[in-house]
Structure 1
């Protein structure tokens, strides 16, 4: 048997005011998208914003449906919209923000497992990692250097 050690590093910012201008601009877009989410069932709204290599910012938000699990997460809405509208343009960065109408979300909310897998596909496809910033409604923000930091041992086409 052989053991390996996996380690990741992430930057933790106390709040949005500590972000660089570029990071804050992207997070503001994610917050704006979050405020337009359709979440009447979970009351949990998520917004995502992708900065593309052509300087376009593509946003997405969660879209729920009474027929669970027919809804879709914000991250996948944004990534598939980017893939559809700009199929050969690299993603430079992703920002995510989440809130609840039931309680204050004051800790960072990372992408769910399905979104991590979908985002990983695009990071692998473009052969270039992209940083991921995520936060709740207020409070700390986490920034990782890549999706790989959030999903080690990801499944990709090399297994097919």
Structure 2
């Protein structure tokens, strides 16, 4: 038996003013995406902004449905929009934020496992890392340089594409 360890490297920022102009702009776009969230059941809105290599920005927001499994998270809405409309669009980075009137969010909200799986496949498909900013409005920000650091054992099976 061998025991293996891995560490996750990430950056933390105390407020949006500490970010680069590009990072700050992308976080602000994620906040804009909150306006299109459809979250009448959870009252928990999530917004995502994705920066493509050609500097286009694609927004996504969570879309709930009364049949709960039928809804979709903001990250997947944005990534599936890119897949459907920007097939050759390479993703540079993403910013994700959340808001609710029910309580104060005091730390960055991170992506669910299903979103991480979709994110890691997008990273694999383009063969380059995707930076992610998890932005707590009026609070801290976490920044990772690659989805792989968030889901080191993500499901990837290269043979499924071979026929």
TM-score, normalised to structure 2, is 0.95
Sort the Cα spacing of 1:143 and 1:30 in 2 relative to 1 into closer, same or farther, 3 A. same
* Deviation (angstroms), 1:140: 0.4
Higher helix share: 2
- Structure 2 gaps, min length 5: none
Which residue of 2 is the match for residue 64 of structure 1? 64
**Distance across 2 between alignment mates of 1:140 and 1:71:** 28
Give, in angstroms, the shift of residue 27 of structure 1. 0.6
CA contact (8 A) 1:105 1:138 kept: no
The yes-or-no answer on 1:10 pairing with 2:10 is yes
State the partner residue of 2:83: 83
Residue 30 of structure 1: SS of its match in structure 2?
A: helix
**Structure 2 CA distance for aligned equivalents of residues 54 and 70 of structure 1:** 32
Q: Secondary structure at the match of 2:46?
A: strand
**Deviation of the 1:101 alpha carbon:** 1.6
Tell me how far 1:84 sits from its aligned partner: 1.1
What is the Cα-based RMSD across aligned positions, in Å? 1.0
SS of residue paired to 2:68: coil
The aligned residue for residue 73 of structure 1 is 73
Distance 1:127 1:101 in 2: 39
1:157 shift after superposition: 2.2
User: Partner of 2:112 in structure 1?
Assistant: 112
Range with greater deviation from structure 2 (34-43 or 54-63) = 34-43
* Whole-angstrom distance in 2 between the partners of 1:103 and 1:59: 24
Name the count of aligned residue pairs.
Answer: 160
Normalization by structure 1: what TM-score?
0.96
Is the 1:60–1:75 contact (alpha carbons within 8 Å) kept by the matching residues of 2?
yes
For residue 45 of structure 1, what is the aligned residue in structure 2? 45
Task: Kindly state the Cα deviation for residue 36 of structure 1 after the two structures are TM-superposed.
Answer: 2.2
Residues of 2 paired with 1:120 and 1:38: CA distance?
25
Classify the secondary structure of the residue corresponding to 2:70. Answer: coil
